Structure 1
Amino acid sequence: MPSLTIPNARRVDSQRLLSVVAIPLAAAIAMAAAVAATGSVTDPIGEAGGALAFVLEFAKFCYLAVATAHLSGAIAERIGGGMAAGLWLDEFDAPEPLSKEEFWQAFPNHVDGAAIAGAVALFCIALG
């Protein structure tokens, strides 16, 4: 029987984890609040079926966008062999870009990010 090895993360990148988990939720809440506050003739929360359903639609949208971005980043990095993506703020502090191996050994990498965001989007679909 062939052995199955699961890649291990050597470190957890808290900025990337924050960008996958918390920032899309904050964006969804901000967008939902802005739409609810600027509702004109119609009541957008009432049309959505309540406040929870209204916020879940925005959360689903944000997490699907994050999942798509991470999945396309993984595909582009693997096919194109380009430089690994990082947070744009890091490029000023880092003396040189991360190597591919170092990028993929951190949690969450592109595939982890796509899986996490996709799972949260599916959870929002199941709740809504």
Structure 2
Amino acid sequence: MPKLFPVPTARRIDGHRLLSVALIPLAAAIAMASTVAATGMTATPLGEANSTLGFLLDFATFCYLAVAMAHLSGAIAERTCGGMAAGLSMDEFDAPEPISKDEFWRAFPNHVDGAAIAGAVTLLCTLAGALIS
């Protein structure tokens, strides 16, 4: 019986994509939260309602939720429209040859993996924020 939705297997781990899903949003959340905390300026009562750790977890939740939505929309666009070339350079003349569609989906994390990882971290940050409040 043929599978309607075959699950691809990962043949390699792409370090750049894994870093962009797992660590870069955390670094962005820490940078944003520390900047807001250092200036002491909050436009909402978010900073006053939570502790410093709660404030950081709220920023991390926001960053990882944005990453999850970006990867989810990328997966939808890839499956419905064929997607875009997956090169690292934005300059079309200096860009390396884009990897094929099959090769893109054989690497870990692909768009679905990225959305799942970022969604799981979002859930963990939300649960941790609820526990410390």
Bin of the TM-score, shorter chain as denominator length:
0.7 to 0.9
Contact kept, 8 Å, 1:84 with 1:103, in 2: the verdict is no
Stretch deviating more after TM superposition (96-105 or 32-41): 32-41
Number of residue pairs the alignment of both structures matches:
126
Question: What root-mean-square deviation, in Å, do the aligned CA atoms of Structure 1 and Structure 2 show?
Answer: 2.8
Compute the displacement of 1:82 (Å): 2.7
Q: Which runs of 4+ in 1 moved over 6 A?
A: 1-5
The AA in structure 2 aligned to 1:114 is A
Cα shift readout 1:67-109 (whole Å, capped 9, x = no counterpart)? 00000001011100133534447x7462x10100000000000
Note if contact 1:83-1:99 (Cα within 8 Å) is conserved in structure 2: no
Q: Is the 8 A contact 2:36 2:42 kept in 1?
A: no
Matches within 5 A, 1:7-18: 7-18=8-19
Alignment of 1:1-128 (within 5 A): 6-40=7-41, 47-88=48-89, 92=94, 94=96, 96-128=97-129
Q: How far apart in 2 are the matches of 1:41 and 1:118?
A: 26
TM-score by length of 1: 0.85
SS at match of 2:86: coil
Q: Which runs of 5+ in 2 are unaligned?
A: none
CA distance in 1, matches of 2:80, 2:55: 38
Report the secondary structure of 1:97's partner residue.
Answer: coil
> Does the Cα contact within 8 Å between 1:83 and 1:100 map onto a contact in 2?
no
For 1:76 and 1:2, how far apart are their aligned partners in 2?
24
Counterpart-to-counterpart distance in 1, 2:33 and 2:54: 10
Shift of 1:48: 3.3
TM-score by structure 2 length? 0.82
Instruction: Indicate the percent of aligned positions where both proteins have the same amino acid.
Output: 69
